[in-house]
């Protein structure tokens, strides 16, 4: 059988059998028995066109006359022609007269236009779309390879595969054999007619017996399958779209929850830490303050670095989430009140501010306590020496011995009193020193100031009393002096020379035993020089000692020579030669001890200088290295060498090299700890402090992480928006060209010039200014006056992006709901995966519109809420 005979037989089988027409007319509540007879009056022909097209035709004529029938057929033919179909040689008279050939031609034209031409898969033509649909549906089936609409269908497996794909319960596909085409074809035709309401339009024997079955016949029959299963296809597409939208929404909600938790934890840590850093309550001991310093080092070394990473990761997560929301056409994420990135930055700034002066305060407190300990010890030494000197002086000044003394004794008492006054004046400086030290201890807030003040006040009160008693005794002696004139000049001279020499020795012993505190080699060298100068005065002091002892020996000689009646002691002074010799020997013993103390301190200062130089050498290398890396990262972020992936790899290599540099930072931290443990406060060998290095290192880590995140977001934007690498390079080149200050942002005028350079038409009139203002509200919603590169890329790609909309989601839900304005719980659970179905059920509001049934849900308000157009 040739192709013409096959097609002719097919048409006769198809059109003389009312099954195909009745499958459509049944929807209108009618049917036909014979095509050429029942279409002659044009009424059922018009009804068939209305059912197939879904449109209303002109009102038909109900008369029985020929002119009424011709008018109805002409209305049907005019409607077919209005759909772009050319009717060749088909007139109303032939249809009314029952011309079989013309009637069959007209029916074939209807099939082509309304059953086949409207088929479209992925914007292909009707034939190509139908073929593509068949290929996709039969792809999983063995022995089926659909390449055309003729020989690919001869074995019947293609028809069976289409049925089994959509209704697997109707055919046991595993039992079919490729070498039994008649059975396969008849099975498919019978099942399609019985269960799918598809008329049996083809004959199995004719298909098998024809070398190349007619393409039109096969295509017409296959189109019936397409239309029969198109409803299931639409439901599948709608379900996939909803699944996609809900998956994106669920992922974004999880990211929002993660951000909220991380922000809360970080803010809570900052809230707990700031009061600790702001606590400036001083301790009373060096040990307690050093423990505070060690706690602060642990905070900087162990506790803060992970929080710096958390803060950086929080900003990265926030930027990534906002990018995903923009790409999926969702509203921007607004964190809970007080958890914005700006709020976290403000809290972090508060932490940095509290931390800024804490370490300096700790070191100053340690220095203050060290100074206080030194001053307190010095106060105790001087107070003890003074109290030892004043012991018994009040009782001595209150004696009445002059009342019974001889003239010589009175003169001796007077001279002795003069020597005491000289001694008293010499001690005035020590009293003033004691008061000055007590005042300084009060100014430095010494914890034991009350006891110091009490002791100092006692000394001062006693000193005032000594002054008053001294003046009173002098007046009494001067009154008695007029009666008594004898005096021993030698004893007086001895007393006058022995007293200052004794004071000098006491001062020397005090100085030799005095503690000292220095911070530099120059200071210890100054002390050593002063000590050497002191030792140079010892020979002259020894001569003075010998002279004083000579005076005493002369007195003894005179007493022995002239047999003077003496009590055996010098009446003008209590200082004996034995006491002078004892103190002199003590001074000589203290000198080498002082030498040893100065040598040890000199060695300590040399060690401290080595620590300064060691730290300065490393800091002078690390500081410039950090600055160089910051500048290199800045250049990489604005240059266009290779693709974004190349730039990302380059940045990650930089990040790896930076992380590998961390041991040198740790080594510098160790040197810095040694310097602080040695109580070294200044370093002339470098301008870098450990605080500078720490801040620079943290900024470097944050900058490289933020730059990598920006490039990742650009890649995400490029891939999601379909931007080519050439377009991305063009955008970057234009942006960099107008970013003349290399700040990474554009001002309004720079941004406008950049848009014009890319071909964006922005006029200088009022309309152009309004359009530019609209664009600026998109790229700069916070009105900061600058446009970032990410905002620039988002704007350039937004206009042409193919993203889901609320209307598309509503249309998809309407398909699942069977064209109803509401959807039921059962329909959601049948069409969507379980987790996403429950997600919708939990969030959809009840539907209260017309024809609502119990349990009806409002998918329209739910769809608009997904895109921020209403509230969930």
Spatial CA neighbour of 740 closest among 727, 755, 754: 754
CA separation for the pair 789, 647 (Å, rounded): 15
The span from the CA of 11 to the CA of 7, in Å, is 6
One fold for both 7-234 and 248-377?
A: no
Q: How far apart are CA 420 and CA 573, in angstroms?
A: 8
Distance CA 561, CA 490 (A): 14
Measured CA to CA in angstroms, residue 665 lies from 300, 628, 629, 661, 690 at distances of 13, 16, 15, 7, 10
Q: What is the pLDDT of residues 421-455, one digit of tens each?
A: 888 888 888 888 888 888 877 877 777 778 888 88
Mean pLDDT along residues 543-562: 75
The predicted structure's pLDDT at residue 13 = 44
Q: Which two tokens stand for residue 757?
A: 């350079």
CA-nearest of 792, 778, 800, 707 to 750 is 792
Among 93-97, 365-369, 560-564, whose mean pLDDT is lowest? 560-564
3-class DSSP state of 845 = strand
Alpha-carbon separation of residue 458 from 439, 461, 769 (angstroms): 14, 5, 86
pLDDT band at 846; cut points 50, 70, 90: very high
Q: Does domain 248-377 have CATH number 3.40.50.720?
A: no
Lowest mean pLDDT among 331-340, 489-498, 833-842: 489-498
Q: What is the model's pTM?
A: 0.37
- Least confident range of 11-15, 54-58, 275-279, 565-569: 11-15
> In this structure, are residues 570 and 494 in contact, taking their beta carbons and an 8 Å threshold?
yes
Choose the weakest-confidence range: 28-42, 521-535, 777-791.
28-42
Lowest-confidence segment of 88-102, 107-121, 317-331, 554-568 by average pLDDT: 554-568
What are the tens digits of pLDDT across the range 714-769?
A: 778 777 666 767 777 777 777 777 777 777 788 888 878 888 777 777 778 888 88
Cα(537)–Cα(381) distance, rounded to whole angstroms? Answer: 24
Residue with tokens 């006040």: 457
- What is the residue-averaged pLDDT of the chain? 79
Instruction: Give the model confidence (pLDDT) of 347-356 as tens digits.
Output: 888 877 877 7
Buried b or exposed e, range 562-588, using 16+ CB within 10 angstroms: eeeebeeebbbbbbebeebeebbeebe
Domain boundaries, the chain: 7-234, 248-377, 393-602, 609-722, 725-778
Residues 583, 501: Cα–Cα separation, whole Å: 10
Q: Quick one: what percent of the chain has pLDDT higher than 90? A: 5
What is the number of other CB atoms lying within 10 angstroms of the CB of residue 827? 19
Cβ distance 200 to 193 under 8 Å? Answer: yes
What is the DSSP secondary-structure string of 741-805?
Answer: T-SSEE-HHHHHHHHHHTT----SSHHHHHHHHHHHHHH-TT--S-EEHHHHHHHHHHTT-----
Rounded CA-CA distance 342/267 in Å is 12
Query: Contact, 421 vs 478, CB < 8 A?
Result: no
> CA 174: distance to chain centroid?
59
Residue positions counted in the chain: 872
**Six-digit token pair at 389?**
């000197």
> What is the dotted CATH code of the domain comprising 393-602?
1.20.58.60
**Distances, alpha carbon 111 to alpha carbons 117, 193, 197, in Å:** 8, 18, 17
**Kind and range of the H or E element at 607?**
helix 577-638
Which 3 state secondary structure label does DSSP give 335? coil
Ordered DSSP codes for 104-159: HHHHHHHIIIIIITT--STT--HHHHHHHHHHHHHTTSTT----SSSGGGTTSHHH
Q: Tell me the CATH class for 7-234.
A: mainly alpha
């Amino acid at each position: 059988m040739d192709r013409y005979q096959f097609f002719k037989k097919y048409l006769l089988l198809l059109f003389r059998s009312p099954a195909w027409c009745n499958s459509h007319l049944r929807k209108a509540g009618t049917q036909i028995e014979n095509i050429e007879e029942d279409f002659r009056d044009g009424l059922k022909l018009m009804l068939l066109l209305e059912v197939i097209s879904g449109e209303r035709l002109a009102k038909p004529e109900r008369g029985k006359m020929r002119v009424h029938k011709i008018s109805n057929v002409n209305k049907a033919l005019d409607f077919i022609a209005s759909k772009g179909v050319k009717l060749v040689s088909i007139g109303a008279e032939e249809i009314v007269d029952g011309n079989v050939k013309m009637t069959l031609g007209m029916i074939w034209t209807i099939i082509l236009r309304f059953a086949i031409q409207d088929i479209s898969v992925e914007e292909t033509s009707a034939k190509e779309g139908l073929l593509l649909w068949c290929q996709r549906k039969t792809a999983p089936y063995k022995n089926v390879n659909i390449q055309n609409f003729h020989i690919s269908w001869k074995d019947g497996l293609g028809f069976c595969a289409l049925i089994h794909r959509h209704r697997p319960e109707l055919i046991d596909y595993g039992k079919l054999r490729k070498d039994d085409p008649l059975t396969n074809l008849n099975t498919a035709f019978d099942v399609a007619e019985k269960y799918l309401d598809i008329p049996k339009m083809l004959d199995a024997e004719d298909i098998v017996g024809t070398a190349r079955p007619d393409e039109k016949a096969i295509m017409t029959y296959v189109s019936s399958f397409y239309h029969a299963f198109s409803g299931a296809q639409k439901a599948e597409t709608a379900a996939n779209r909803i699944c996609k939208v809900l998956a994106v929404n669920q992922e974004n909600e999880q990211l929002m929850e993660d951000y909220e938790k991380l922000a809360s934890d970080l803010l809570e840590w900052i809230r707990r830490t700031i009061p600790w850093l702001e606590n400036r309550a001083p301790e009373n001991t060096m040990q307690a303050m050093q423990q505070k310093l060690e706690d602060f080092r642990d905070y900087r070394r162990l506790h803060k670095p992970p929080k710096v990473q958390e803060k950086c990761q929080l900003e990265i997560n926030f930027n990534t989430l906002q990018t995903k929301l923009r790409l999926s056409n969702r509203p921007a994420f607004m964190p809970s009140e007080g958890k914005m990135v700006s709020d976290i930055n403000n809290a972090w700034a508060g932490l940095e501010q509290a931390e800024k002066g804490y370490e300096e305060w700790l070191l100053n407190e340690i220095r203050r306590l060290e100074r206080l300990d030194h001053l307190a010890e010095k106060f105790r030494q001087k107070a003890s020496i003074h109290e030892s000197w004043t012991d018994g002086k009040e009782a001595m000044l209150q004696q009445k011995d002059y009342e019974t003394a001889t003239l010589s004794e009175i003169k001796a008492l007077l001279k002795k009193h003069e020597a005491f006054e000289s001694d008293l004046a010499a001690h005035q400086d020590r009293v003033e020193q004691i008061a000055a030290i007590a005042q300084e201890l009060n100014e430095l807030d010494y914890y034991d100031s009350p006891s110091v003040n009490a002791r100092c006040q006692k000394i001062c009160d006693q000193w005032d009393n000594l002054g008053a008693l001294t003046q009173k005794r002098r007046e009494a002696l001067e009154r008695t002096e007029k009666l008594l004139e004898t005096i021993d000049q030698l004893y007086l001279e001895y007393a006058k020379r022995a007293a200052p020499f004794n004071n000098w020795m006491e001062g020397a012993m005090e100085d030799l035993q005095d503690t000292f505190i220095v911070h530099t080699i120059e200071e210890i060298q100054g002390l050593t020089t002063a000590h050497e100068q002191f030792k140079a005065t010892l020979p002259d002091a020894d001569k003075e000692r010998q002279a004083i002892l000579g005076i005493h020996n002369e007195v003894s000689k005179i007493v022995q020579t002239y047999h003077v009646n003496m009590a055996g002691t010098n009446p003008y002074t209590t200082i004996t030669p034995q006491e002078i010799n004892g103190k002199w020997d003590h001074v000589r013993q203290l000198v080498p001890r002082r030498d040893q103390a100065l040598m040890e301190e000199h060695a300590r200062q040399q060690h401290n200088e080595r620590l300064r130089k060691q730290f300065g050498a490393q800091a002078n290398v690390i500081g410039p290295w950090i600055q160089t890396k910051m500048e290199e990262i800045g250049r990489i972020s604005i240059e266009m060498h290779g693709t974004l992936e190349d730039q990302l790899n380059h940045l990650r290599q930089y990040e790896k090299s930076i992380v590998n540099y961390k041991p040198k930072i740790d080594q510098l931290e160790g040197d810095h700890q040694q310097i602080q443990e040695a109580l070294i406060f200044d370093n002339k060998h470098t301008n870098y402090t450990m605080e500078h290095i720490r801040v620079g290192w943290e900024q470097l880590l944050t900058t490289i992480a933020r730059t990598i995140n920006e490039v990742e977001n650009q890649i995400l934007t490029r891939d999601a928006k379909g931007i080519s690498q050439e377009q991305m390079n063009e955008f970057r080149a234009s942006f960099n060209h107008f970013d003349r200050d290399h700040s990474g942002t554009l001002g309004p005028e720079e941004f406008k010039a950049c848009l014009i350079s890319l071909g964006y038409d922005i006029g200088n009139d009022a309309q152009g200014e309004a359009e530019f203002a609209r664009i600026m509200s998109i790229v700069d919603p916070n009105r900061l006056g600058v446009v970032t590169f990410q905002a620039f890329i988002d704007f350039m790609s937004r206009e042409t992006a193919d993203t889901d909309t609320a209307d598309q989601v509503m249309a998809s839900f309407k398909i699942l709901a069977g064209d109803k304005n509401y959807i039921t719980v059962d329909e959601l659970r049948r069409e969507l995966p379980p987790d996403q179905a429950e997600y919708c059920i939990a969030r959809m509001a009840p539907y209260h519109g017309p024809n609502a049934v119990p349990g009806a849900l409002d998918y329209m308000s739910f769809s608009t809420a997904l895109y921020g157009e209403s509230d969930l």
